[in-house]
Structure 1
């Protein structure tokens, strides 16, 4: 049986789920944990992904990659210096420098994300006992077209077919409202994760989920709160030991990891102690951090999280909100909850869902809805999403003329008429933009093309420009001259994508080098699982004459079963490096006796 999975590809942690047996199951990783760090480490001979990579962050900081979600799909990044690993620009965007197998490598963010996705895919295949090819992947609502396409490219490299890209708060709302098919509610989803903040307002009514507005901050989350505490303690360490640890990546990473743990502890306790042995110059460092101090350091950032809430309410005439659903790991911070609740007149927040798993659960539901064998419970559910930013073109005077307004329902097609700017004009440049600023120079260019038109007096030539956006937010723009029927089209997915088809093929090949290590680990994990199952089966066999099993077989058969079981047990003890198939063959042989 083939399954479609839902993936929350997070800045700090990722989560994967599947909808089966009429419910969502969160898929554990090889350690049994329900979330996996979005982290990849490279050393001399191996790659480590997830939990194993986190263990490398302090000892191997320059080759341990994290926070890739903040880099993917971008041509530049203002906070490059905050990462201990090296990020540089290339013709096709940002690349990350690492050392692997004794060689210096330049890796694109898409490849790093692909390695994380591949890990999640492998975990799902082990859990489900079947191949996984299809997935729904979530992204922040504030992700632009380029970032969405880069995420799709990463999934393609990982061997996944993306059935749909959906916004994270929309996925959370789907998870929240799955059992509220008969109610009509205005639901505000507040999604504060490790790197981004998204706020969406949805109407949930009779199984229909309609996104009414969405807003967010693309660079605000748990990692920024960590950094506030790090900066405070860096100053304290400098005063105590006269050491500038900003120049020492290993020491700085040890401190950052300790601050992340302290932040988590402070959600449950009023204070915690950070203790780091031999931090600088052989000196131990110990400091008590109170929740009050942490809240004071981050208060400005905490209050900023209200801005997107105000925006979505303003765009909906300050409508009544029935439920405020809190998701994302950072939404667990008590002060965050206090600030949000206070803004709504001390309204009780809905924290009933696991904030670390809600988005993956919603993605899993959407994946099941899009599958060929959609469960009956999900057939009547519809999901209506919107465009997070306005889309349009540049017109005379470098003015941004909006064709598709923000919050337009997807999928959407809009056609708008234009004319020439001067007499005898033969070429019209169509510059496609996204944003909310009145001037084109203040918005983000997605692509451009040129349409040939016949010479004519000003205003005579009429052209229609059409914008078409699919369910994934991928944009196609076309223009046609209504006089000569000259036609030109640009698919932003293809024209302005992060990677060309050739680059994707090359990166798939490059990923195979790293994947070989993963496959070896996968075979080992499966073999261990099969060995445990065989041992369990051996221990369940009852040889006693008065036992339940023994009463159904003859003494001769009992002796044969006992002899064979002993032989198999001895074989297991002697053969420690055998395949999964061999263990299964032995088990099935015993069952046949």
Structure 2
């Protein structure tokens, strides 16, 4: 909204008596739009009384100002840029999900970690890192497969996510949030091992692949249940298995 779209500016509160405040407002909106006939010290009380009377007369009347987001919510893109997904000023809860489309970077990628930030800085890492959104992808997805993620805020202002393949199949994707340094550490560890296994895929036998998939499934289940001890054990076995693959080819 621009100053030209504002019809009147009502000065409220003791600070409105400060000459510099009035001068600054007049420079932005114009002197004619400043309303000085209302008592600045009583106007809030008068407004509250009018609202109370309105609600008493009509209890079903909704005159409550909706809650809105105070910061942007978004993620980190290439070059540490902050891509805003839920902009500041969005109504809580969000009227409808806000969607973004991402693409699988390499063939066979099984997990995507999407850092979720809150703030105003255009540099993502300078904002507050809320959590990491992890997506568990189906097997053997080709590079470039589109993944659609829906973001929203519930009535309590808590982030909600849904993800699905945007390739026409509509296949739902399992998502969960990773919070806490310890949990994020093992999530990154499992993700690193998964990428390493992908790099060694030509050397992995069918039997080793089956064993790997079993360990991977157990690791993801442990992380989802916040069982970090079990996740650590699975990660250790996965790493040992990859070392065996390397030695056998050496």
TM-score band by shorter chain is: 0.5 to 0.7
Kindly provide the CA deviation profile for residues 467-496 of structure 1, in whole angstroms up to 9, marking residues without a partner as x: 222456x1313142437633225599xxxx
Aligned to 1:161: none
Note if 1:344 corresponds to 2:29.
yes
- Quickly say closer, same or farther: Cα 1:340–1:318, change in 2 above 3 A: closer
Q: How far, CA to CA, are the matches of 2:75 and 2:59 in structure 1?
A: 43
Structure of greater Rg: 1
- Quickly say closer, same or farther: Cα 1:317–1:361, change in 2 above 3 A: closer
Q: How far, CA to CA, are the matches of 2:57 and 2:133 in structure 1?
A: 44
Q: How far, CA to CA, are the matches of 1:451 and 1:464 in structure 2?
A: 11
Q: How far, CA to CA, are the matches of 1:469 and 1:359 in structure 2?
A: 32
Q: Report the alpha carbon displacement of residue 376 of structure 1 after superposing the two structures with TM.
A: 0.9
- Quickly say closer, same or farther: Cα 1:471–1:322, change in 2 above 3 A: farther
Q: Report the alpha carbon displacement of residue 440 of structure 1 after superposing the two structures with TM.
A: 1.2
* Pick aligned residue for 1:403 from 66, 80, 85: 85
* Pick aligned residue for 2:173 from 486, 492, 500: 486
Q: How far, CA to CA, are the matches of 1:458 and 1:363 in structure 2?
A: 61
Q: How far, CA to CA, are the matches of 2:20 and 2:32 in structure 1?
A: 15
Cα pair 1:393 1:400 within 8 Å, conserved = yes
SS of the residue corresponding to residue 4 of structure 2 reads coil
Task: Output aligned runs, 1:234-253, within 5 Å.
Answer: none
Q: How far, CA to CA, are the matches of 2:105 and 2:70 in structure 1?
A: 31
* Pick aligned residue for 1:440 from 121, 124, 131: 124
Aligned to 2:73: 391
Cα pair 1:476 1:490 within 8 Å, conserved = no
Q: Report the alpha carbon displacement of residue 394 of structure 1 after superposing the two structures with TM.
A: 1.8
Aligned to 1:319: 4
- Quickly say closer, same or farther: Cα 1:457–1:397, change in 2 above 3 A: farther
Q: Report the alpha carbon displacement of residue 342 of structure 1 after superposing the two structures with TM.
A: 3.8
Q: TM-score with structure 1 length normalisation?
A: 0.25
Aligned to 1:430: 114
Kindly provide the CA deviation profile for residues 210-239 of structure 1, in whole angstroms up to 9, marking residues without a partner as x: xxxxxxxxxxxxxxxxxxxxxxxxxxxxxx
Q: Report the alpha carbon displacement of residue 416 of structure 1 after superposing the two structures with TM.
A: 2.3
Note if 1:450 corresponds to 2:134.
yes
* Pick aligned residue for 1:335 from 20, 23, 47: 20
- Quickly say closer, same or farther: Cα 1:358–1:401, change in 2 above 3 A: same
Root-mean-square deviation (CA, aligned residues, Å) is 3.8
Cα pair 1:331 1:355 within 8 Å, conserved = no
Aligned to 1:209: none
Cα pair 2:148 2:163 within 8 Å, conserved = yes
Aligned length: 170
Aligned to 1:358: 44
Task: Output aligned runs, 1:375-386, within 5 Å.
Answer: 375-376=57-58, 379=61, 381=63, 383-384=65-66, 386=68
Aligned to 1:292: none
Cα pair 1:433 1:443 within 8 Å, conserved = yes
SS of the residue corresponding to residue 319 of structure 1 reads helix
Q: How far, CA to CA, are the matches of 1:388 and 1:437 in structure 2?
A: 13
SS of the residue corresponding to residue 486 of structure 1 reads strand
Aligned to 1:477: 160
Question: Which one has the bigger strand percentage?
Answer: 1
Q: How far, CA to CA, are the matches of 2:59 and 2:35 in structure 1?
A: 24
Q: Report the alpha carbon displacement of residue 441 of structure 1 after superposing the two structures with TM.
A: 1.9
Q: Report the alpha carbon displacement of residue 365 of structure 1 after superposing the two structures with TM.
A: 4.2
Cα pair 2:82 2:124 within 8 Å, conserved = yes
The gaps in structure 2 that reach 5 residues or longer are 180-250
Q: TM-score with structure 2 length normalisation?
A: 0.52
Q: How far, CA to CA, are the matches of 1:448 and 1:490 in structure 2?
A: 6
- Quickly say closer, same or farther: Cα 1:317–1:335, change in 2 above 3 A: closer
The gaps in structure 1 that reach 5 residues or longer are 1-315, 493-593
